[in-house]
Amino acid sequence: MKLFSEQDIEARALRLRVRLFLLTAALIGVVTLAAVAVRHGVFTQTIALSFFAESAHEISKGMAVKVVGFKIGKVEEISIEPDNRIKVEIAVNHNYARLIPRDSVAHVMKEGLIGASIVEILPGEDKKRIVVDNDVLRFERGSGLADLAKKLTDQVIPILHDVKKITASINDPQGDIRQAVHHIGEATVAMRASSEELQKLLHQSNVKVGALGGQVSAILDKTDQNMALVQKSLTTLNGTLPGMLQKIDGALPGMLQKIDGTLENARRISQDSAEQLPGLLRDGKAVAGDTRDIVAGAKKAWPISSLLDPAPTGAMPLDSYVPSR
């Protein structure tokens, strides 16, 4: 039986430790490579998407691609086209492709003001049409820090110019602001004088109103007295009026009967006069005829005829002739 020496045993143990070390290192290397491959999506199924930009500014290979802040892929390749446009190819995890409609828009923007640049995809409205492999998205460059600084500068510069003009106007004694302040001071003095005059006017008005109030009170007192007399008269009238009305009601039938009798007498007298009037008129006519005959005879008798002028014997006027018919 062959016996191993102590040196052989140590050599065999050393070789065994070396083999174990190499095997452990190889396993570690494999695990590391697998982890790196998984991290870089080597074993993840992806779809290829792209978009065209006017510049490669702030776009780099390996840049993260996110949707609503969640990383779903990365930039795989950047190339320049014959028309000087920049073609950016991205790889998106196949499991998240359902979040990207075909009308989505890709933006290049920074995470915060000083963060890293990323490609942010804003999902579109048409949820029924989902992207497929090799689709091209619409691109719009987002506002970076430089763009924001430029916009802020463009807005601030006009304000600074206006402030400079206002400052110069304030320092100018003949400027509008100085003149306005002067006018305000004058207006304040005038308002103070007007206030004093208004106080005097109010005091005089209070005095006059007090005197007028005394006169009105006296008039109201007299009015109250007159109203009391009127009330007393109305009370007396209310007490006497019913008796007067009763007396009138009692006397009225007798008065009406007397009036009816008087009217009846007048009617009878009128009727009697109507019956006697024709006879009286005939008698009066006969008396008048006899009187005329007596007067005519008396005129012809002497000595009355000698006392009267003779009757005219001239011709009758022409217009007195009336032809017979």
- Per residue in 193-233, pLDDT (tens digit) is 777 778 888 877 777 766 666 676 777 777 777 777 767 77
- Per residue in 106-121, pLDDT (tens digit) is 988 887 667 788 899 9
Looking at per-residue pLDDT, the higher value among 9 and 252 belongs to 9
| pLDDT of 239 higher than 70 | yes
Q: What are the structural domain ranges in the chain?
A: 46-140, 172-268
Kindly indicate the confidence band of residue 238, based on its pLDDT and cuts at 50, 70 and 90: confident
Token readout for 7 is 């040196």
Contact 227, 235 (CB under 8 A): no
Structure-token match 């009355």, residue found:
304
Q: Whose CA is closest to 132, among 46, 42, 52, 40?
A: 46
Residue 47's pLDDT is what?
92
Q: pLDDT exceeding 90 applies to what percent of the chain?
A: 21
Looking at per-residue pLDDT, the higher value among 245 and 71 belongs to 71
Most confident of 50-64, 100-114, 167-181: 50-64
Kindly indicate the confidence band of residue 168, based on its pLDDT and cuts at 50, 70 and 90: confident
Residue 322's pLDDT is what?
47
Residue 231's pLDDT is what?
76
Report pTM. 0.38
- Per residue in 242-281, pLDDT (tens digit) is 776 677 666 666 666 776 776 677 677 667 666 665 665 5
Q: pLDDT exceeding 70 applies to what percent of the chain?
A: 66
Kindly indicate the confidence band of residue 318, based on its pLDDT and cuts at 50, 70 and 90: very low
State the helix-helix crossing angle for 176-300 and 145-171, rounded to 10 degrees: 70
Q: Say how many C-beta atoms besides its own lie within 10 A of residue 126's C-beta.
A: 11
Kindly indicate the confidence band of residue 324, based on its pLDDT and cuts at 50, 70 and 90: very low
Residue 283's pLDDT is what?
61
| pLDDT of 320 higher than 50 | no
Residue 165's pLDDT is what?
77
Write a three-state SS string for the chain. CCCCCHHHHHHHHHHHHHHHHHHHHHHHHHHHHHHHHHHCCCCCCEEEEEEEECCCCCCCCCCEEEECCEEEEEEEEEEECCCCCEEEEEEEEHHHHHHCECCCEEEEEECCCCCCEEEEEECCCCCCCECCCCEECEECCCCCHHHHHHHHHHHHHHHHHHHHHHHHHHHCCCCHHHHHHHHHHHHHHHHHHHHHHHHHHHHHHHHHHHHHHHHHHHHHHHHHHHHHHHHHHHHHHHHHHHHHHHHHHHHHHHHHHHHHHHHHHHHHHHHHHHHHHHHHHHHHHHHHHHHHHHHHHHHHCCCHHHHCCCCCCCCCCHHHCCCCC
| pLDDT of 162 higher than 90 | no
